[in-house]
Amino acid sequence: IIEDTLTRRRRTLGDDHPDTLQSANDLATALHYLGKPAESRRMDEDTLAHRRHILGDDHPDTVQSAHNLASVLHSLGEHAEARHIIEDTLTRRRRTLGDDHP
């Protein structure tokens, strides 16, 4: 279902539309949970690059994509890179949402 939704959104809205990027994010998350971290990583990297370009580095959706990429990198044993990304996402969330945000 998620793949079908992504395909339809790409066709009707284009690759860079925020709804399309959300579907790509959802598919990457599903792949990670299904035990396909290499596929998830590729999808997360692509989604993050698009969100950075379209929404900017500090947008909450972009930060969420970075967090998802860090999670899959951790699953792949790339702990140093995952930690670097997580530290960056924490800094961005604090800056944009504030320290008191739940």
Round to whole Å and give the CA distance between 1 and 11.
Answer: 15
Query: Read out DSSP for 78-91?
Result: -HHHHHHHHHHHHH
SS3 59: coil
Q: What is the pLDDT of residues 36-59, one digit of tens each?
A: 999 999 999 999 999 999 999 999
Tell me, what DSSP letter sits at residue 51? H
Q: Which domains does the chain have, with CATH numbers?
A: 2-97 (1.25.40.10)
Helices 60-75 and 37-55 pack at an angle, to 10 degrees, of: 160
The type of residue at 2 is I
| pLDDT recorded at residue 54 | 95
Tell me, what DSSP letter sits at residue 17? S
Q: Give average pLDDT by consecutive 10-residue segment, the chain, 102 residues.
A: 94 96 97 97 98 95 97 97 97 87 76
Helices 18-33 and 2-13 pack at an angle, to 10 degrees, of: 160
Closest CA relative to residue 28, chosen from 53, 63, 8, 3: 3
Query: What's the whole-model pTM score?
Result: 0.90
